[in-house]
A and B are shown apart, each in its own frame.
Chain A
Amino acid sequence: MAASELGFLELLRWAWRQLTSMRTALVLLLLLALAAIPGSVIPQSNTDAFAVQRWQDEHPKLTPIYEKLELFSVFDSVWFSAIYLLLVVSLVGCILPRTRVYWRAFRAKPPAAPRNLARLPHHATYETTESADELLATAERVLRKRRYRVVVDAEAGTVSAEKGHLREAGNLLFHLAILVVLGGFATGSLWGYQGGVVVAQGSGFSNTITQYDDFVPGSLLQASDLEPFHFEFDKFDIEWLESGPRQGMAQKFAAHLRYTEKPGAEEKKYALRVNHPLSIGGTDLFLIGHGYAPHITVRDANGDIAASGPAVFLPEDQASFRSFGVVKASAAKPEPIGLEGLLFPTFLMIDGTPMSIFGDDRNPFISMQAYVGDLGWSKGSQSVYVLDKSGMKLLEKPDGGLFRVDLCAAKINGTPNTSCKNSTVKLPDGAGSVTFDDITPWVRIQISRTPGKGIALGGVVLALIGLLGSLFIRPRRVWVRVRRRDDAETLVEVGGLERSNGGDATDEIDEIVTQLKGRGTEDS
């Protein structure tokens, strides 16, 4: 019994020693690097869920295996976490004893001079007529000035000096700081959140979970943690390049917002731009996307308005901004009407193919198909960007030909579009009519709260400071021994020891000797 307990304890101790050994730390580090590779090769669900879906569709056989191995979320996976947690344990197991050793070393006096200084890797000797006491005093002064900690042993005629303790301090700081960074990172993923919302020009957003299009909360986030701000999106600035190698690229995006930090607070203005997020309390708002929302009015068979206002269309192609979208007129009588199709911001018919030749809304045009029937609301929640056509009938021309809602916009961002002659079309079978009234921009705003980002940043900065210390501070020991010889000359021996690799104490010893000699002649 006792023997087996001892055995168990020994096993634990053995395991701990193994885990905290340098070799293990190295292996774990390299393993961490290796384990990160799949995260860059295989699409990751928390960076690009869409790419994951596409990959899974293309590889139906591999998908279940990959899912089991958590290869779509490498950085949250059990095995990746295991590696870095082991690394953290190894790190703690390494720095605790080292801190203790360091504490002792820090308070310890520089060690006594070895018997034979000439055996040290760096040493020098010279003779002088000065007295031993004088020399010892000079050596102490010189070494102190060079920021050594000095102990003089007058009896033995030696001076012991040491410097560069901070190297180990830097080393410990670096390792501790890594823990701080991990803490900051973890805080962010536990209490933070990230959400995205598409806001059409002229509308607003209040910070509650229900208003988000997508929302990824940290596991410990409470709904009450959301800051109660509200903003209105008034106007969008954008500049399109019409020439040069980047022709067609847009820049200088700015979404003009009016916002209140909490209900009843004073209203402020902010131009939200890329690289210039708006901070409200601990929450940051980022401009990360833009697109067009055509205003489409759908009238039903009675001529009553069944749907109107901006409908957000999603760009299918970032060059031309050809966008896809749907309009759902559930209030239409006798049957709901659905539209699905494309928006071309700068429309041009090229060889019978409708195209958008520019991203700006110079000649907006929609080309959609119309459906009537059940919109599928009874099936539960559904996306506003997808039309469920399973219960609907495609409207065709009376002769059975393909019917399309092909319309130009009556207005562009509120300004009448003079080149558009007819912006209304009647639907077949007297189902109603569709009008393309206007086109306005929308922006996609990413809203995130990342508590602990300051901690993480502070941690990395500390780590860098520690790293610099541990790489560039050179711990050294220097000893000076003076010996009175029979011929009334004094023999001075200086020896140095470099305690880190990559260093070379020869220059240091040379300088010390020069200074010793210099002081000597000055004094006499």
Chain B
Amino acid sequence: MSNDAWETLSNQSVTAAGILYFLALLAHSAQWAALRKLPADETPESGQVATFGRFGLLLTGIACAAHFVALVARGLAADPNRVPWGNMYEFTLSATFMVTFAYLVLYRKYKLSWLSPWVVGLVFVTMMIAVIWLYERVAPLTEALSSPWLVIHVISAILASGVFFLGGLVSILFLVKARSEAREQMQERELVTAGGGAPLGPAPRTGILARIPSTDALDRLSYRLHAFAFPVWTFAVLISGPIWAHYAWSRYWGWDAKEVWAFITWVVYAAYLHARATAGWKGRNAAILALVGLATLLFNFIGINYFFGGSSQHSYAEAPAAVVQVDAGIGVGAAPLG
């Protein structure tokens, strides 16, 4: 197959994956719409509702496969062939793939069915954003990027980002769930005081929120995701990144805008883990801290490329129209020397 054919295949696979994700979202929405009326502790194993759920999962699986094909084809479309992590479009495509993949792998172990519509919806929206605003044609890598460290550095960054993203999602759900739990408790208390007698026992709870696991479970899951992602992030930002920067840019740490924000993200997540481990912060405060971490991560990914584009050496986010991407390393020579 020619490079152009691979590129076309990649674009078609992205479209296919997008449609499949959308269908999966519809299936899960239908499932949840039906589940809403049922008590939360009752999940039918057969019938229409269960079929919708299984169908949604199946569609997500196929979408994930198409997503993977898109990535592989993207890499094969380049000359010479390379890993598909050369620009923001490719990075976003890879990170969303990582989110879906992690979700599918962990689905059974952590019983993630409650997470399905959220993950699928998020991946779908992010992918569409990538296609609409970030799309770039397949192009050879700039010189500073063609290094084996691209594989090592970027895959760890993508893996960590994807899992942090999932962790952030769980933290948001935690906050929502915590509010609803607090409200329920208040209502129960009111009932008790108003009724004057013994509580009637909790009414069967229905609704979407009731199906999300308890705050304790969410809190533990969020912690586990972050505890996994943080060492990976450490490796990406503080080991593989500096080693590569040393080879490509002659310094291992130069306080480049991207480096500063990667450092900030690292510090915030370190504070999160620290708070969990020693200060015994659980729940709300920890969730908020995790979301601050996610905000710095996203700002680093999007903000730095667009607001600081020119001044950061990591500026691989130039508009597609620019004929020449200033090759990050060699571009330094443009600075006046006198």
Which A residues fall within an 8 A CB radius of B?
22-23, 25-26, 29-30, 32-33, 36-37, 39-41, 43-44, 46-51, 74-75, 171, 185, 194, 196, 198, 213-214, 241, 244-253, 274-277, 284, 286-291, 314-316, 318-319, 359, 383-386, 444, 446, 448, 450, 453, 456-457, 460-461, 463-464, 467-468, 470-472, 500-502
The answer to whether the Cβ of B165 comes within 8 Å of any Cβ in the partner chain is: no
- Interface pairs (16), CB distance under 8 Å: A22-B278, A26-B275, A245-B136, A248-B324, A277-B246, A277-B247, A286-B249, A288-B249, A314-B336, A314-B337, A316-B334, A318-B324, A450-B251, A460-B242, A502-B220, A502-B223
CA distance A314 to B336 in the complex (A): 7
Are B333 and A456 within 8 A (Cβ)?
no
CA distance A245 to B320 in the complex (A): 9
CA distance A90 to B268 in the complex (A): 17
Render B273-299 as a binary contact track against A, CB cut-off 8 A, 1 for contact: 111111100100000000000001000
CA distance A196 to B250 in the complex (A): 11
Are B264 and A37 within 8 A (Cβ)?
yes
Partner of B327, one of A48, A249, A444: A249
The CB with the most chain B CB atoms within 10 A, among A75, A274, A468, A470, is that of A274
CA distance A500 to B223 in the complex (A): 12
Residues of B within 8 A of A247 (CB): 323
Beyond A250-B330, A275-B247, A456-B252: 7 further Cβ-contacts under 8 Å? A40-B260, A249-B142, A274-B248, A467-B231, A467-B234, A471-B227, A502-B227
Are A26 and B333 within 8 A (Cβ)?
no
CA distance A350 to B313 in the complex (A): 33
Given contacts A448-B251, A460-B238, contact A251 B143 (CB under 8 A): yes
Residues of B within 8 A of A450 (CB): 246, 251-252
The answer to whether the Cβ of B325 comes within 8 Å of any Cβ in the partner chain is: yes
Q: Is the interface of A mostly helix, strand, loop or mixed?
A: mixed
Are B243 and A457 within 8 A (Cβ)?
yes
CA distance A40 to B139 in the complex (A): 29
Partner of B137, one of A245, A276, A472: A245
Are B142 and A251 within 8 A (Cβ)?
yes
Partner of A50, one of B144, B242, B257, B335: B335
Partner of B274, one of A29, A214, A276: A29
Which B residues, 225 to 266, have Cβ-Cβ distances below 8 Å to chain A? 227, 230-231, 234-235, 238-239, 242-243, 246-257, 260-261, 263-264
Residues of A within 8 A of B337 (CB): 196, 198, 213-214, 314, 385, 444
The answer to whether the Cβ of B183 comes within 8 Å of any Cβ in the partner chain is: no
The answer to whether the Cβ of B39 comes within 8 Å of any Cβ in the partner chain is: no
Residues of A within 8 A of B246 (CB): 277, 284, 450, 453
Residues of B within 8 A of A48 (CB): 311, 335
Residues of B within 8 A of A444 (CB): 332-333, 337
Residues of B within 8 Å of A, CB-based: how many?
Answer: 71
Are B308 and A246 within 8 A (Cβ)?
no
Given contacts A40-B304, A275-B146, contact A502 B264 (CB under 8 A): no
The CB with the most chain B CB atoms within 10 A, among A275, A472, A502, is that of A275
* B259, chain A: closest CB distance, angstroms: 9
Given contacts A245-B138, A275-B144, A275-B146, contact A461 B224 (CB under 8 A): no
The CB with the most chain B CB atoms within 10 A, among A36, A43, A171, is that of A36
Are B227 and A288 within 8 A (Cβ)?
no
Residues of B within 8 A of A251 (CB): 140, 142-143, 146, 327
Are A29 and B324 within 8 A (Cβ)?
no
CA distance A194 to B256 in the complex (A): 16
Are B139 and A29 within 8 A (Cβ)?
no
The answer to whether the Cβ of B172 comes within 8 Å of any Cβ in the partner chain is: no
* A213, chain B: closest CB distance, angstroms: 5
Residues of B within 8 A of A500 (CB): 277
The answer to whether the Cβ of B147 comes within 8 Å of any Cβ in the partner chain is: yes
The answer to whether the Cβ of B26 comes within 8 Å of any Cβ in the partner chain is: no
CA distance A37 to B262 in the complex (A): 11
Given contacts A457-B242, A502-B227, contact A284 B139 (CB under 8 A): no
Closest A residue to B338 using CB positions: A383
Residues of A within 8 A of B308 (CB): 40-41
Residues of A within 8 A of B270 (CB): 29
Are A30 and B268 within 8 A (Cβ)?
yes
Q: Which 3 A-B pairs have the closest CB atoms?
A: A289-B333, A383-B338, A286-B250
Given contacts A213-B337, A501-B277, contact A289 B143 (CB under 8 A): no
Residues of A within 8 A of B275 (CB): 26
* B273, chain A: closest CB distance, angstroms: 7
The answer to whether the Cβ of B40 comes within 8 Å of any Cβ in the partner chain is: no
* B41, chain A: closest CB distance, angstroms: 21
CA distance A33 to B293 in the complex (A): 10
Are A288 and B136 within 8 A (Cβ)?
no
CA distance A275 to B245 in the complex (A): 9
Residues of A within 8 A of B137 (CB): 245
Given contacts A22-B278, A501-B277, contact A318 B252 (CB under 8 A): no
Closest A residue to B148 using CB positions: A275
Given contacts A39-B260, A50-B336, contact A464 B311 (CB under 8 A): no
Are A252 and B143 within 8 A (Cβ)?
yes
* A82, chain B: closest CB distance, angstroms: 16
Partner of A246, one of B140, B248, B264: B140
The answer to whether the Cβ of B131 comes within 8 Å of any Cβ in the partner chain is: no
Residues of A within 8 A of B260 (CB): 36-37, 39-40
Partner of A274, one of B143, B223, B238: B143
* B252, chain A: closest CB distance, angstroms: 6
Render B313-329 as a binary contact track against A, CB cut-off 8 A, 1 for contact: 00000001001111101
Given contacts A48-B335, A245-B136, A319-B323, contact A448 B250 (CB under 8 A): yes
* A45, chain B: closest CB distance, angstroms: 11
Are B338 and A384 within 8 A (Cβ)?
yes
The answer to whether the Cβ of B271 comes within 8 Å of any Cβ in the partner chain is: yes
CA distance A49 to B231 in the complex (A): 34
The answer to whether the Cβ of B267 comes within 8 Å of any Cβ in the partner chain is: yes
CA distance A318 to B320 in the complex (A): 16
Given contacts A314-B336, A471-B231, contact A244 B264 (CB under 8 A): no
* B76, chain A: closest CB distance, angstroms: 16
CA distance A29 to B138 in the complex (A): 41
Closest B residue to A317 using CB positions: B334
CA distance A461 to B231 in the complex (A): 11
Closest B residue to A442 using CB positions: B333
The answer to whether the Cβ of B199 comes within 8 Å of any Cβ in the partner chain is: no
Are A275 and B143 within 8 A (Cβ)?
yes
The CB with the most chain A CB atoms within 10 A, among B220, B224, B242, B252, is that of B252
* A246, chain B: closest CB distance, angstroms: 4
The CB with the most chain B CB atoms within 10 A, among A47, A247, A383, A385, is that of A47
Are B142 and A314 within 8 A (Cβ)?
no
CA distance A274 to B330 in the complex (A): 8
CA distance A49 to B268 in the complex (A): 29
Are B333 and A288 within 8 A (Cβ)?
yes
The answer to whether the Cβ of B44 comes within 8 Å of any Cβ in the partner chain is: no
Closest B residue to A274 using CB positions: B143
Are A253 and B268 within 8 A (Cβ)?
no
Are B311 and A43 within 8 A (Cβ)?
yes
* B83, chain A: closest CB distance, angstroms: 15
Residues of A within 8 A of B279 (CB): 22-23, 26
* A357, chain B: closest CB distance, angstroms: 10
* B5, chain A: closest CB distance, angstroms: 15
Residues of B within 8 A of A284 (CB): 246, 250
CA distance A383 to B99 in the complex (A): 54
Closest B residue to A384 using CB positions: B338
Residues of B within 8 A of A50 (CB): 335-336
Render B127-155 as a binary contact track against A, CB cut-off 8 A, 1 for contact: 00000000011111011101101000000
